[in-house]
Amino acid sequence: MAPNNVVLCHRHGLSLNLSEGPGEMCVMHGWDDPQARVLADDADMVLVMGGPGTGRTSLCLEIAARHVASGGLLSDVLVLAQTRPSAQALRTALVRRLAGAHLEPQVMTVHALARRIVASPSRRLLTAPEQEFRMRELLAARDMSDWPDELRTCAGTAQFASDVRVMAARLRQEGCDPQDLTDAGVTWGVPEWRVLGPFLADYLDVLDLEGTLDYAEAVHRARIALTRPGADIEVRSRIKLLICDDVVECDSSQIRFLSQIARCHIPCVLTADPDQTIYGFRGAVAERLDEVIDEFPDVSVHHLATNYRNSQHIAEVVESLRTRMPAVPSSSQLRRRANHSAVTEDGTVAAVRAPSMTRLVRKIAGTLRHAHVADGVAWRNMAVVTRHGGELGIIATVLAAEDIPVLRSRDEHALSDINAVTHIVNALAIAVALASGRQPSDRDVATLLSNPLAGIDRSLVHRLETWCRLVRGIDIDWPLLGELGADPMAAVAAERGNERPEDGSRAEVDGRAEEAGKEGSETAHEAYSVPPGLRALAQPLAMMVQRVQRAADLLRSDASCHEALWALWQGSSWTSSLRSRALAGDSAADRDLDGLCSLFDMADGAQTMAGIAGARRLIEVVRQEQIPADRARESDEDRDGVSVVTAHRVKGREFDVVAVCGLEEGNWPADNHTGSLVRADRWSPDSLVAAPGWSENLRAETRLLLVACSRARRQLLLCTVESAEEGKRPSGLVAGLPHVEDHVDSLNFTSLTELVGELRRVVVDNSELPGVRAEAQALLDDLRVEKHRGRQLVPQADPSTWWCQGAPHQADVAGEIELSASHIGELLTCPRRWFMTRRAGASSGSAFQASIGSLVHRICAENMGHWSLPGALTELEEAWPEIDVTAEWQRNAKLADAKAAVQRFDGWLQSRHRQLIGTEVRVDGTIEVPSGTARVRGSIDRLERDAEGACYVVDLKTGASQSEETKRSHRLQIGVYQAVVASGGVKTIGPKPVSGAELVHLQIGAGKGKLSPKVDHQSGLADVPWPNEIDPVDGCRNWIEASVDKALRIVISGDYPAVVNRGCGHCPAKAGCPALVPMDPATARSNRRRNAL
């Protein structure tokens, strides 16, 4: 097979080197006879006709390059394309072709040229969504009392606004004014045109006042500007050569505009292929090529008939589609010529069928993967093309699930459909409310709480809502969020006349707050109405509130919306999360960032987007955007992945492998005969014309399919959902196409994960031949080292991620190992359970009793610093309905038990005699042991100071279990807290002696009437380093260090054996546990072989 960048041709033994970008155009550097004649033609007006792959665009670039090589300036050459992505691709290819530094390459769209000739830098071109928004805005404010009833009924719909926009464009494309539409309505008895004329006149006045232009108006005004005296001299001074690629995609106004430029005695080169005219919705007409001949003087016509893109079989499919359309235009010199392929490869054309879209895309994914792995085709040289934009989402989702990197164009999404844009616009709306002097509504607050910019999860939101109802008697509101943003430490300092404590000294502040509360200080109570623990957890939300207030201040001072958006964006953890996910290949994060870039560009591109009014307008434009805008960037070429794109947006690009989806009857060809609500399809300057019929629609759909299929160089897949139950069958457009074979799945696996699994099986299977096993191992090694943008492409192939392959030896483990104080006991009791639940995420869900315990613990811990028994009981009753009981009869009985636990805590709290240091005190410290260093992080429910100044640890327990394993785990937890506090793990107080600790079991009664909680005391480690039942361990100073050392050794070894204990019956990972289920003999043999290795 020839390399991808070389095409071998029969004719003259010609070898054409093609330079290609990622799915972009191929640029030829060798020329056949017809192409050479084009290059040698020195006529002032040259028209080049040719089908797909004949080199029309390459000739445009070569003519521009030869102009520069002959001594001209690149800035004197004007190259026009039909879309902004096409212009960007042409600009990149031209600069690459010239291979040098050049100033101001003029490669642009016709509309951009028109705006330049209008010579008004202050005027901005509206995107199609912005134009449609203006239409809806004006229609909503319009007095329609004199409008026909049928128009008033539909005037508020999106379709009506879209049809009015098309009507406005049609007027300007024909050089007419709104009054001409009104006159036509009166003359031909069309009431819709009669009332739309004055409306469109007002619309154009509004654009004038705003300093904006829509696309059709820009071309219309440029044509008027070219009629001014001296305009031709000015144009000739700036343009020495005009090149327009695909001129038949221009509407009639654009063709006349280009003709005016040509008549300024400027040489022109035009290219055309009527059979690939697909932008009819923009005013393009395939039959307009005769009009081009009439508008441009003395045209020299050239035909290109050799296809250098498509392989033989694909070229015959394309030619078959071409011959199904009538020969237009009528002029013999412009009539279609038969094309033949110069590519020696046959290529493949396959029909892919499946009963559902998901299964169909999975088959496509298998073929794409085979092309990538077996044939070496880069992901960027493959594409999936579909008829409708609504199908892109499911295609991209399924491909991503099959480990296929996906690339979707930025202009395939409306901004209103992108989640990240919605979130930041919602935050901007709250800033607008604040800047306007209004307090955000409860709905705004609820939106902000669920906004990822706030950085909190749903469980914390629920806790805030519960607390707010308890304390304030209302739902969470904006004043509470403002209180969260306040600085409690500064408040205490101001009250005490001291300076603000150091960051992180919340525990000391809590102690001061409690003292202030005991003294009856009303100010202190108000300053600490939000529990310290809850305040600390809600700090990301508080920072978000501050950013919103900052954005409001900016808008109030008439700053730009761009600045306000930056104020909201910067400083959120969500921003770094999006970036990390996008770099890791997450297509959703990539799409979110693309949308945000487009939003910031929109906010920065208009002078009207400033201050409160500008922000309101930006919010409305984004929220009401229903059609995607052209927001492509030249940096898009650097992105990699399989392109998932609609047929309209794939024009001008080519790929080695193309899968065309949506080829079902009723879907392609699409039934576009919904008609226009304002009869835009029947208007012409001269008469009332007939609406397009089915034959016109069928030709347009055939041309669109021809464009999609002709993008493929080597492999074409025609993909159809075929289901008798759903009435789906293949489209008639693909019936009778030549060389179409039935698709055969290339591989037995459908993802890289399955491939790695199969290779691993072969590697360890002794029944396989040694050569086969060695080859499987070599493939695994190749997959393991494969990287994309610096990250491992197939992490599943890395043996370090395989279960039972062993962790690194102790010498390979560097740095600290993080352990949780509450989980060390579980790790020592059963290492397998600890690994499955804490590392692998196995869980049996939150049990009923555990939910009750968590609720009681939260209420007691959060309110400990400002305790009120009636308030705590009220909070318990309000939160109780959310407890998921096993049986309804249990609800009241369990509520009574929970209340009893809270009341026990009240009695215990009243009896405390030590000084409070803090509640929910954050702990972050290290314990040095012989096997390494353990970093312990956690939270102490209550930390006290005794009369001698030593610390005392208190931990609340709400479980009812008193098994030996549970007791051991609890004792280890408070013992570890003792060790960490003594070593300085509480940053606000530093290293302090610890006199002991205690466990307070709230659900286990003690004493007379069981009114007090059971309390387990633990001596200080300095007083009792080694209990009688524990033998000292060399290198460890106490029994806690010995336990931590043992836990570290387990983690470092990477061996997590299952240990039978009394907790096995309710272990969430007991399924398949080797301690409970006898090992399968085959597994035992496999383990022995692995151990032998």
Residues at the binding site are 50-57
Tokens of 898: 């929970």
Beta strand extents in 883-993 (DSSP E only): 915-929, 932-945, 951-957
Cα Rg for the chain, rounded, in angstroms? Answer: 37
Q: Which two tokens stand for residue 10?
A: 């029969």
**CA 487 from centroid of its chain's CA atoms:** 35
Burial of 1075 (0-12, 13-18, 19+ CB in 10 A): middle
| Single-letter amino acid, residue 1043 | S
Cα-to-chain-centroid distance, residue 1019 = 54
Beta strands per DSSP E along 600-749: 642-646, 655-660, 712-721, 740-742
User: Residue 271's beta-bridge partner residues?
Assistant: 48
Q: How far apart, in Å, are the Cα atoms of 883 and each of 820, 886, 992?
A: 27, 10, 41
481/544 Cα distance (integer angstroms) = 10
State the Cα–Cα distance between residues 471 and 481, nearest whole angstrom: 14
DSSP letters of 978-1018?
A: HHHHHTT-STTT-S--EEEEEEEEEEEEESGGG-EEEEEEE
Cα separation, 273 vs 706, whole angstroms: 12
**Nearest-angstrom CA–CA distance, 963 and 833:** 17
Residues 1042, 1033 contacting (CB under 8 angstroms): yes
Q: Tokens 């945000």 correspond to what residue?
A: 596
The answer to whether 960 touches 1004, Cβ cutoff 8 Å, is: yes
- The alpha helices in 570-610, defined as continuous H runs, are 573-583, 587-605
Return binding residues for ATP. Answer: 50-57
Beta strands in 153-213 (DSSP E): 212-213
CA–CA gap between residue 753 and residue 350 (Å, rounded):
26
- Per-residue DSSP letter, 251: -
Instruction: Retrieve residue 460's tokens.
Output: 């914390």
Q: Enter the tokens of residue 505.
A: 């000294």
Beta bridge partners of 28: 18
- Cβ-Cβ contacts under 8 Å for 896 (sequence gap 6 or more): none
Rounded to an integer, what distance in angstroms lies between the CA atom of residue 423 and that of residue 149?
A: 39
Provide the CA 213 distance to its chain's centre, in angstroms: 31
Residue where the block lists tokens 């208007």: 683
Distance between CA 736 and CA 317 in Å, rounded?
A: 10
End-to-end CA distance of the chain: 42
In whole angstroms, give the CA distance from residue 498 to residue 13. 91
Tokens representing 1077 are 């289920």
Q: 10 Å Cβ neighbour count for 309?
A: 25
Residue with tokens 């610096």: 790
Determine the residue type at 720. T
CA 900/CA 960 separation, integer angstroms? 13
Residues linked to residue 768 through DSSP beta bridges, in sequence order? none
Strand pairing category for 77-81 and 45-50? unpaired
CA atoms within 13 A on the CB side of 813: 19
What is the distance between the alpha carbons of residues 897 and 783, in angstroms, rounded to a whole number? 58
Are the CB atoms for 981 and 967 separated by under 8 Å?
no
